[in-house]
Amino acid sequence: MVLDMNKERKTDRRTLYTINAIKDAFLELENKTVFERVSVKAICEEAEISRATFYLHFDSINEVLNEVIDDALLFSETGKGTVIDLVDVIKSGKFDISNNNEMILPACQRIADSEKYHRLFMDPSLSEYIINRIAKHEKDKIVPELMQRCGVSEEYAEMIFRFMLNGSFYVNKSMGWQKNDIWYKFQKVLSVFLDAGMRAVSGECTK
């Protein structure tokens, strides 16, 4: 079972270097195998550190995984875009502003320009966990807005949110997380579909 654990750390340069070395070693190993086969021993060998150093910064491989996922999705920075924001951007006719601005994209689309994370997000053993981690971060932002836009209860809004999240994740995964011309066309089509769906639900609920 993947656990979500957090610990406070000093942020001096040496500590940050070691933490990044551990995360980079983890990603390098993920490029060669799947998550279930990655071990602390292998990470230490790849990063050229001792087990004691590893456990000084992380409690487990699961904690490394969590931080790497958050890095990929910009949760630890300023990524604030949601799938609803993308729908609004496309409706406004300003979709081009998303081309070089990962911050406004929905979470599961922000890694399209970060090739170092693609193999991790293609790992079939991690798909459900990554989706649940995205949901954990995004739920409180998106569900209330869906409730307002669609005029539905929290229960229904969360169901719609899960549908949108899973669909977006698997469309991106099927394209190998590559942001190309086809990807942009798909985003436009899917956004029109989602916008129409939200408006239809809102109309139905107001009858």
Q: How many helices (H) and strands (E) does the chain have?
A: 9, 0
Q: Are residues 105 and 165 in the same domain?
A: yes
Domain limits for position 48: 13-61
Q: Who's near 23: CB < 8 A, 6+ residues apart?
A: 64, 67, 68, 71
Q: Looking at per-residue confidence, does 90 or 36 come out higher?
A: 36
Neighbours of 95 (CB within 10 A): 15
Specify if 94 maps to a domain. yes
Number of domains in the chain: 2
Any idea which residue has 């409180």 for tokens? 140
Answer whether residue 110 shows pLDDT above 80.
no
3-60, pLDDT tens digit by residue?
444 445 556 888 999 999 999 999 999 999 999 999 999 999 999 999 999 999 999 9
- Cα–Cα dist 194/87, whole Å: 7
Residues 32, 131, single domain; the answer is no
pLDDT-based confidence at residue 147 (cuts at 50, 70, 90): very high
State which H helix or E strand residue 204 sits in.
helix 181-205
Residue 101 pLDDT exceeds 70: no
